[in-house]
Amino acid sequence: MTEAIATHSPLARLSDLRLAKAGRPILDGATLDVFAGELLALVGPNGAGKSSALKCLGGIEAAWSGRIELAGRPLADFPAHERARRVAYLPQFFAPHWELSVADLLDIGQRRGLTALRWNAIGRPSPAAGDTPARSGGLLQDLELSELLERRFASLSGGERARALLAQALITGPSLLLADEPIASLDPAHQLRTMQYLRQCRTETASLVVLHDLNLALRFANRIAVMAEGRVVVCGTSEEIAASGILTEVFGVRFEAHLTSWGRALLPG
């Protein structure tokens, strides 16, 4: 399902990115371009540095060295509120400290990137006229959240939580979504629907997505970046990655290729 993307000017660029914790290198010269209009999958074994790369680009990690650019400008040049408006970060784990409903969560998401919030008497952000989750009815319908708006986040299933968090990340239409294993807690049907949705909305919001399911990466991503030992060892189309043998080398598992209705699938041999 690979489609051509415009690669003349990257939306985001990581160059020679380095990060260490407790004297141990986490990122060791990672370099990667993300282009507008693409769904870019980031794969690799545990400890390869995938989540850390996302956190650096999203401004979550601060102690990195190297260079990060967004729309051709150094990331440090962006005020925090502007970066938050342009880049949405979807963490692997999220545990709110307050009793939030899905509507509350989306209200907060809609105000991402604003320099100031107005709060009402009960401690919720005060919605501006016409500024409600109902404006994003298509998003709620696509992620099957319309009936969950008044439900408390703590009462949701793992899959419902994952879909609510994805909606919060996308509700303002950021130019780039950084998603760390967004389908990990979803059943197979919702995994497919979520990946289809990310691919569908990539013209408005490009996505850099950490995935452990290699076949979903092969099926839905425009390109796949393979990380190992803190570096991006290769980045290419799904066809190039599947045919290269790099996944066998990186994961230490022999994969057998099988032709499916959507393209080449890989199974551990």
pLDDT over threshold 90, residue 105:
no
pTM: 0.87
Beta-carbon contacts of residue 175 (< 8 Å; ≥ 6 apart): 11, 36, 71, 86, 87, 205, 206
Note the pLDDT of residue 114.
64
Angle at 113 between CA 53 and CA 39, to 5 degrees: 40
List, for residues 18-48, the tens digit of each pLDDT value.
999 998 999 999 999 999 999 999 999 999 9
Residue 208: φ, ψ to 5°: -110, 110
Q: Is the dihedral of CA 104, 110, 113, 115 positive or negative?
A: negative
Region 82-97: what's the mean pLDDT? 84
pLDDT over threshold 80, residue 66:
yes
Residue found under tokens 């016409």: 130
Quote the percentage of the chain above a pLDDT of 70: 87
Of residues 87, 58, 93, the one with CA closest to residue 165? 93
List, for residues 142-180, the tens digit of each pLDDT value.
888 889 899 998 898 888 888 899 999 998 889 999 999
* Interatomic CA distance for residues 64 and 167, integer angstroms: 29
Q: What is the DSSP letter of 152?
A: B
Beta-carbon contacts of residue 198 (< 8 Å; ≥ 6 apart): 39, 177, 179, 182, 207, 209, 220
- Of 5-9, 77-81, 110-114, 134-138, the range with the highest mean pLDDT is 77-81
Note the pLDDT of residue 136.
62
Torsion of CA 27, 30, 35, 37, to 10 degrees: -50
What domains can be seen in the chain, in order of their start residue? 12-268 (3.40.50.300)
Q: How many CB atoms lie within 10 A of CB 258?
A: 10
Of residues 43, 38, 2, the one with CA closest to residue 214? 43
E strands within 22-167? 24-34, 39-43, 65-70, 73-74, 87-90
Average pLDDT, the chain: 86
**Helix crossing, 158-170 with 102-110: angle to 10°?**
20
* Interatomic CA distance for residues 110 and 113, integer angstroms: 9
List, for residues 169-223, the tens digit of each pLDDT value.
998 889 999 999 999 888 999 899 899 999 999 999 999 999 999 999 999 999 9
List, for residues 106-150, the tens digit of each pLDDT value.
888 888 766 544 444 334 444 443 344 444 667 888 888 889 899
* Interatomic CA distance for residues 164 and 148, integer angstroms: 9
Confidence at 3, pLDDT banded by 50, 70, 90: low
* Interatomic CA distance for residues 106 and 206, integer angstroms: 20
H-state helical runs in the chain? 50-57, 80-86, 102-110, 137-142, 158-170, 188-200, 214-220, 238-244, 246-251
Note the pLDDT of residue 14.
97
